[in-house]
């Protein structure tokens, strides 16, 4: 069973999806990669795994400025390469940005900048796996599934330096 809940934030509605193992998706609903909430997905109820309500609480704390890191069971699936990129994304500190080239170097694949960008874009755990912290080498914002405006808001919330 897949469960979902919606968190309303200053950046718009965010869908949180999870199963018995962990959180599988966190998606801005107005972006180009909104979560697919269909008949196979059930609204959070008293029988939902506890990590669903914990995810909503931790994301709410992030938007209120009282949380910088997340401690949740995650159940995102992908290739070994994608998983290595997502693991490295999770190590980028709050309020810090890096370039796609930096990210490629960190996973010891400096020639794989485009593949790193593709893996970054395939991340389904917005904010929790902070793909929004990856920007261009020139410090300018680059694409984001939730939209460039939301990416800018998230980085401003964290006090990160970037160029528009």
Return the pLDDT at 31: 65
Return the pLDDT at 32: 67
Of 1.10.10.10, 1.10.3720.10, 3.40.50.1110, 1.10.150.530, the CATH number of 80-158 is: 1.10.10.10
Listed as ranges, residues in the chain with pLDDT below 50 are none
Return the pLDDT at 164: 79
- Among candidate residues 60, 6, 15, 52, the one with its CA nearest the CA of residue 33: 15
- Among candidate residues 17, 21, 23, the one with its CA nearest the CA of residue 3: 17
Q: Which residues are known catalytic residues?
A: 131
Domain residues of the chain, as ranges?
A: 2-63, 80-158
Rounded to two decimals, what is the model's pTM? 0.92
Angstrom CA distances, 98 to 56, 91, 132, stand at 27, 11, 10
């Amino acid at each position: 069973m897949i469960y979902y809940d919606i968190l309303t934030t200053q950046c718009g509605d965010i869908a949180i999806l999870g199963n018995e193992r962990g959180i599988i998706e966190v998606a801005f609903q107005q972006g180009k990669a909104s979560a697919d909430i269909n008949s196979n997905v059930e609204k959070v109820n008293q029988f939902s795994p506890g990590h669903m309500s914990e995810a909503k609480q931790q994301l709410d704390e992030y938007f209120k400025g009282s949380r910088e890191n997340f401690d949740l069971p995650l159940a995102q699936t992908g290739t070994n390469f994608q998983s290595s990129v997502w693991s490295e994304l999770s190590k980028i500190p709050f309020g810090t940005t890096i370039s796609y080239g930096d990210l490629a170097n960190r996973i010891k694949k400096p020639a794989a900048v485009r593949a790193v960008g593709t893996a970054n874009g395939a991340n389904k755990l917005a904010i929790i796996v902070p793909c929004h912290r990856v920007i261009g080498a020139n410090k300018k914002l680059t694409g984001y599934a939730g939209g460039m405006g939301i990416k800018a808001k998230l980085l401003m919330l964290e006090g990160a330096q970037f160029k528009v």
